[in-house]
């Protein structure tokens, strides 16, 4: 009888021997595949996660919120912030861009289950007239900003094992949307196994483990592991503009935000929007034990979310919209932190419906959650960052994600928000165009990021445009 592969012994010792239950029935190629996947898993880490997050699912300790305070933030100048400081921030940010210190950084490894779109989310079409994909919108914003600042802007895109090939092919098929392909860098995030409620690893088939992306927080270690940080260092890049793949409104390259980050010598900075209403499902910027953090809506008791100041404003008003600036060496520090060290991102538990083998070896698709996935969140790095700064932004200028197929944060709301933005910019420059009571123009309008990727750049190009177009029919500005 052939000796058992050493990894199988390790799995048996760890109480996860069932992963190899069908090993002898597999072809050689399947066996290799299973062993490869099994070698990806850190069983010690998994044991700790299962014990702490699955077997003794920690009940929420509301006492831990006793020390909680709302986080301070820099208000916009029109809301009482110092116009002088905001102007200074723009100058500092522009200088950093002109010096080539800034790169764009997109996390695009998610599964997009809520949208239900078959393909990498970045390939989803979002604009009103030209039906540009999310990736194209970002590529054009980056290209236009690079032209304005006279410096190359590298773009780092995190993919997952599931969507890496398709994402890269999409860029190739579209000639990188006019970007130099050597300046677009893809890197894959890590994976974590799903477990059942007893902490046992789930199998996707007899020859594969149910593995899924390790969350957007996995981007920090993936950047380090892929060599991207060393590349940045060699190329004089020390500042990363982080955004998520589902939000085409984001100012991917925002000199003011970059400037605030640099002025404050911050290691990780964030944008906030005032929450629209108490129950709004966003994370909250808070201070806990003197550290900045984001407390998720599902973790913050509703009585806190409803608290108001004497002036009647929500106390926990600062909503997180997942837009950050990160310092390169801070990412390295977080990525390299040893397990057990204090500066390590915690995993979160997510109960999910996971298609997997049942105990008789049949593949089942459950109708209710049957297991747990583990995910890292990028905002969990905030408490470890020196001098973190939070600045206010207008939601309508930075945030309209495509999360759901319908309703809130859907393709429809996102398209409308883009058109509202176009109408607002035109009106601000004195144009008269008809909009409905919600600010939506009566004709479709799309502004190519190559024409204007923020109000500032739009204003410059619009003022030079002669003759000005009419707004009597659909309008695409490029």
Residues that bind ligand UTP (CB under 6 A): 107-114, 121, 158, 189, 213-216, 244-246, 403
Q: Which lies closer to ligand UTP via its Cβ, residue 322 or residue 445?
A: 322
**Cβ-contact 467, 477 below 8 angstroms:** no
**Cβ-contact 308, 317 below 8 angstroms:** no
Q: Which lies closer to ligand UTP via its Cβ, residue 259 or residue 283?
A: 283
- For residues 269 and 441, give the distance between their C-alpha atoms in angstroms, rounded to a whole number: 34
3-state secondary structure of 394: coil
- For residues 132 and 120, give the distance between their C-alpha atoms in angstroms, rounded to a whole number: 14
How far apart are CB 373 and ligand UTP at their closest, in Å? Answer: 9
How far apart are CB 214 and ligand UTP at their closest, in Å? Answer: 6
**Cβ-contact 190, 221 below 8 angstroms:** yes
Please state, in angstroms and as integers, the Cα–Cα distance from residue 265 to each residue in 13, 220, 320, 327, 386, following that order.
48, 20, 21, 9, 8
Residue nearest to ligand UTP (CB): 110
CA angle, 263 then 268 then 269, to 5°: 65
3-state secondary structure of 441: strand
**Cβ-contact 243, 252 below 8 angstroms:** yes
How far apart are CB 106 and ligand UTP at their closest, in Å? Answer: 7
Q: Where are the beta strands (DSSP E) in 89-190?
A: 102-107, 155-159, 184-188
- For residues 107 and 167, give the distance between their C-alpha atoms in angstroms, rounded to a whole number: 12
Element holding 150 (H helix, E strand): none
Quickly count: other Cβ atoms within 10 Å of residue 19's Cβ: 23
Q: Which lies closer to ligand UTP via its Cβ, residue 261 or residue 403?
A: 403
Q: Which lies closer to ligand UTP via its Cβ, residue 122 or residue 199?
A: 122
How far apart are CB 93 and ligand UTP at their closest, in Å? Answer: 23
How far apart are CB 258 and ligand UTP at their closest, in Å? Answer: 20
**Cβ-contact 192, 354 below 8 angstroms:** no
Q: Which of 124, 108, 123, 109 is nearest to 410 (CA)?
A: 124
Q: Which lies closer to ligand UTP via its Cβ, residue 110 or residue 259?
A: 110
Q: Which lies closer to ligand UTP via its Cβ, residue 190 or residue 199?
A: 190
Q: Which lies closer to ligand UTP via its Cβ, residue 283 or residue 383?
A: 283
How far apart are CB 403 and ligand UTP at their closest, in Å? Answer: 6
Q: Which lies closer to ligand UTP via its Cβ, residue 103 or residue 423?
A: 103
How far apart are CB 173 and ligand UTP at their closest, in Å? Answer: 20
- For residues 376 and 158, give the distance between their C-alpha atoms in angstroms, rounded to a whole number: 14
DSSP character string of 176-208: GGGS-GGGEEEEEPPEEE-B-TTSPBPEEETTE
Please state, in angstroms and as integers, the Cα–Cα distance from residue 374 to each residue in 50, 320, 351, following that order.
10, 21, 9
**Cβ-contact 327, 335 below 8 angstroms:** no
How far apart are CB 267 and ligand UTP at their closest, in Å? Answer: 21
Q: Which lies closer to ligand UTP via its Cβ, residue 192 or residue 300?
A: 192
Name beta bridge partners: 187: 158
Q: Which lies closer to ligand UTP via its Cβ, residue 93 or residue 112?
A: 112
How far apart are CB 341 and ligand UTP at their closest, in Å? Answer: 23
How far apart are CB 55 and ligand UTP at their closest, in Å? Answer: 23
Radius of gyration of the chain (CA): 24
How far apart are CB 186 and ligand UTP at their closest, in Å? Answer: 12
**Cβ-contact 346, 218 below 8 angstroms:** no
Q: Which lies closer to ligand UTP via its Cβ, residue 158 or residue 426?
A: 158
State how far Cα 142 lies from the chain centre: 17
Q: Which lies closer to ligand UTP via its Cβ, residue 92 or residue 252?
A: 252
How far apart are CB 217 and ligand UTP at their closest, in Å? Answer: 8
The terminus-to-terminus CA distance of the chain in angstroms comes to 70
How far apart are CB 238 and ligand UTP at their closest, in Å? Answer: 23
Give the contacts of 32 (CB within 8 A, at least 6 positions apart): none
Q: Which lies closer to ligand UTP via its Cβ, residue 49 or residue 423?
A: 49
């Amino acid at each position: 009888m052939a000796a058992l592969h050493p990894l199988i012994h390790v799995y048996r010792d760890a109480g996860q021997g069932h992963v190899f239950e069908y090993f002898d029935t597999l072809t050689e190629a399947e066996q290799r595949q299973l062993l490869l996947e099994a070698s990806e898993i850190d069983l010690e880490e998994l044991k700790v996660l299962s014990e702490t997050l699955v077997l003794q699912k920690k009940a929420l300790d509301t006492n831990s919120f006793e020390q909680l305070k709302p986080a301070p933030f820099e208000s916009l100048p029109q809301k009482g912030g110092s116009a002088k400081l905001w102007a200074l921030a723009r100058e500092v940010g522009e200088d950093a861009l002109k010096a080539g210190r800034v790169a764009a950084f997109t996390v695009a490894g998610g599964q997009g289950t809520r949208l239900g779109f078959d393909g990498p989310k970045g390939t989803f079409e979002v604009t009103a007239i030209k039906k540009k994909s999310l990736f194209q919108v970002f590529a054009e914003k980056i290209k236009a900003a690079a032209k304005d600042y006279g410096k190359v802007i590298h773009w780092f895109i995190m993919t997952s094992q599931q969507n890496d090939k398709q994402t890269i092919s999409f860029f190739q098929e579209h000639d990188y949307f006019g970007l130099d392909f050597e300046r677009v860098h893809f890197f894959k995030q890590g994976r974590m196994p799903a477990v059942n409620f007893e902490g046992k690893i789930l199998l996707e088939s007899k020859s594969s483990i149910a593995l899924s992306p390790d969350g957007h927080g996995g981007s920090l270690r993936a950047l380090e592991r892929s060599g991207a940080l060393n590349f940045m260092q060699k190329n004089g890049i020390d500042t990363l503009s982080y955004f998520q793949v589902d939000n085409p409104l984001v100012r991917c390259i925002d000199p003011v935000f970059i400037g605030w980050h640099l002025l404050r010598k911050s290691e990780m900075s964030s944008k906030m929007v005032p929450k629209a209403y108490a129950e709004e499902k966003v994370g909250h910027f808070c201070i806990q034990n003197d550290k900045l953090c984001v407390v998720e809506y599902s973790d913050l008791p509703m009585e806190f979310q409803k608290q108001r100041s004497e002036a009647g404003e929500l106390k926990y008003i600062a909503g997180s919209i997942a837009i950050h600036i990160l310092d390169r060496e801070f990412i390295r520090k977080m990525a390299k932190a040893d397990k057990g060290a204090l500066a390590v991102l915690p995993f979160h538990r997510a109960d999910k419906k996971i298609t997997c083998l049942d105990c008789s070896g049949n593949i089942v698709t459950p109708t209710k959650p049957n297991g747990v996935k583990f995910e890292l969140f990028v905002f969990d790095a905030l408490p470890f960052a020196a001098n973190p700064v939070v600045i206010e932004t207008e939601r309508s200028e930075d945030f309209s994600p495509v999360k759901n197929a319908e309703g809130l944060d859907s393709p429809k709301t996102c398209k409308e928000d883009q058109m509202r933005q176009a109408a607002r910019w035109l009106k601000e420059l004195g144009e008269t165009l008809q909009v409905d009571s919600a600010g939506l123009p009566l004709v479709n309008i799309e502004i190519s990021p190559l024409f204007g990727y923020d109000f500032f750049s739009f204003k410059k190009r619009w003022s030079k445009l002669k003759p000005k177009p009419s707004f009597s029919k659909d309008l695409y500005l490029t």
